[in-house]
Amino acid sequence: MMTLGLKFERLPSPVWVRAAIPFVAIAITFALVSVLVILAGANPFAVAYELLIDPLTKNSARGDILVMATPLLLTGAAVALAFAGGYYNIGAEGQLLAGAAAAAWVGQFVGDLSPWLAIPVMITGGFIAGALWALIPALLKVRLQVDEVVTTLLMNSIMGYIISALLNGPWRDPVSGWPQSPTIALSAQFPQIIPRTRVHFGFIVAAVVVIALWWILTRTRFGLELRAIGKNRDGAQFLGIRVERTMLAVALISGGIAGLAGVSEVAGIHYYLIGSLSPGYGYTGIIVATLGALAAPGVVMAALFLALVSRGALTASRELDIPIYLADVIQAVLLLVMLAVLLLTRYRIRRA
């Protein structure tokens, strides 16, 4: 009789297998997606070239990759920290928007300050807003043991409507009538950091956060404790780790980092808040963190790779008439394939 169950036996996999996993996953993903490319009437190899190689050959495109990687590094770091601590924060999207709203608000009032003061104030405001938006699900989790997956998810929708209400109400542009907030003060706008590219100060913020994530996870007692909680919550409690306090801190810091992604998009790209500020960076952050194995180096590689594909998709849509949504499909397929490949290489499968 056929059963649907499979039995997994844990096997240690050699180093070269583990090193090859990302490449295998990318190859499988591109093979699967080439079906769609052929449907679109294009040559899969030409599209793969546009997505993976072409952006690296031009200076401006290389800059765009860093610009596009900036929000992904931040949401990826936010999600990686939370997931590593066993706190499944699906709410980075809402926390990002909270940070963006705070930046758009603070940014209107700091015109008299020098950038050296205005930018830190705005960044702090965005971090606090993201953390505050993460607070309700976090409190429900540690005080009432309410699972955070659904509550953080629902908070995203609520924040989406709050942003919409702000933009259609008090922040509607009085001149044009467009639903966009007033432009933030010049002193609050992130400076460009690489000449002749659009790379802005937000990339430095993201780099600092990722380094901090690495340091926290690998070099601090707090990081050790949160990873212990992520691995085995009851065991951590037994060892005397204050699980609730650590988890609350993890949730709030994660929310704060996601908030920084919103600050960076407002202050580095748009200079005002719009409803379409984030095409789902909070959710992409979950892909980045998962692909990056919940660790800082992995988050960097995953964010840069997804940014490369997104930038490549821009050219591919122009040159080869491939819908830009190809990038979204690739990201999602890569996530699922990577998860499956990771599992299959770690285990030997038998029929149960």
Partner 1 sequence: MEFLLTLLGATLRIATPILYGALGEMIVERAGILNLGIEGTMLLSAFGGFVAAQLSGSIYLGLLIAVAIGVLLSLLMGFLSITLGLNQHVSGLGITLFASGLALFLFRIIYGGESIPPALEESFPQLRIFGGTSLEPVFSQYVFTYAAFLLVPLLAWLLYRTSFGLRLRSVGENPEAADTAGISVFRTRYVALLMGGALMGLGGAFLSLAQLGAFTHGIINGRGWVAIAIVIFGNWRPWRVLAGALLFGGLQALQLRLQAEGVQLPYEIFLMLPYVMTIVAIAITGRNASYPAALLKPYRREG
List, in sequence order, every beta strand (DSSP E) within the chain: 6-10, 347-351
Work out the number of other CB atoms within 10 angstroms of the CB of residue 153.
17
Closer to partner 1 by Cβ: residue 95 or 156: 156
Chain residues binding partner 1 by CB under 8 A are 3-8, 36, 39-40, 88, 90, 136, 140, 143-147, 149-151, 153-158, 160-162, 164-165, 168-169, 280, 283, 286-287, 290, 323, 325-329, 331-333, 335-336, 339-340, 343, 352
Nearest-approach distance from CB 322 to partner 1, in angstroms: 9
Nearest-approach distance from CB 55 to partner 1, in angstroms: 19
Nearest-approach distance from CB 44 to partner 1, in angstroms: 14
Nearest-approach distance from CB 67 to partner 1, in angstroms: 21
- On the 0-12 / 13-18 / 19+ scale of CB atoms within 10 A, 225 is buried
Closer to partner 1 by Cβ: residue 170 or 240: 170
Closer to partner 1 by Cβ: residue 111 or 235: 235
Closer to partner 1 by Cβ: residue 42 or 267: 42
Closer to partner 1 by Cβ: residue 169 or 174: 169
From the list 39, 73, 70, 33, the residue with the least C-alpha distance to 51 is 33
What ranges in 145-220 are assigned the alpha helix state H?
Answer: 148-168, 201-219
Find the Cα–Cα–Cα–Cα dihedral 243, 244, 248, 250, rounded to 10°: 10
Closer to partner 1 by Cβ: residue 210 or 334: 334
Closer to partner 1 by Cβ: residue 74 or 337: 337
Cα separation of 14 and 129, whole Å?
A: 44
Cα separation of 2 and 5, whole Å?
A: 9
Cα separation of 224 and 244, whole Å?
A: 15
Angle at 349 between CA 345 and CA 352, to 5 degrees: 155
Nearest-approach distance from CB 149 to partner 1, in angstroms: 5
- Strands 6-10 and 347-351 turn out to be antiparallel
Closer to partner 1 by Cβ: residue 266 or 327: 327
Nearest-approach distance from CB 227 to partner 1, in angstroms: 17
Nearest-approach distance from CB 159 to partner 1, in angstroms: 9
User: Which residues, other chains included, contact 135 with Cβ-Cβ below 8 Å and sequence gap of 6+?
Assistant: 251, 252, 255
Nearest-approach distance from CB 185 to partner 1, in angstroms: 27
Nearest-approach distance from CB 133 to partner 1, in angstroms: 12
- On the 0-12 / 13-18 / 19+ scale of CB atoms within 10 A, 304 is middle
Closer to partner 1 by Cβ: residue 141 or 200: 141
Residue 60, token pair as written in the block:
């401006």
From the list 52, 304, 68, 53, the residue with the least C-alpha distance to 197 is 68
Cα separation of 63 and 245, whole Å?
A: 40
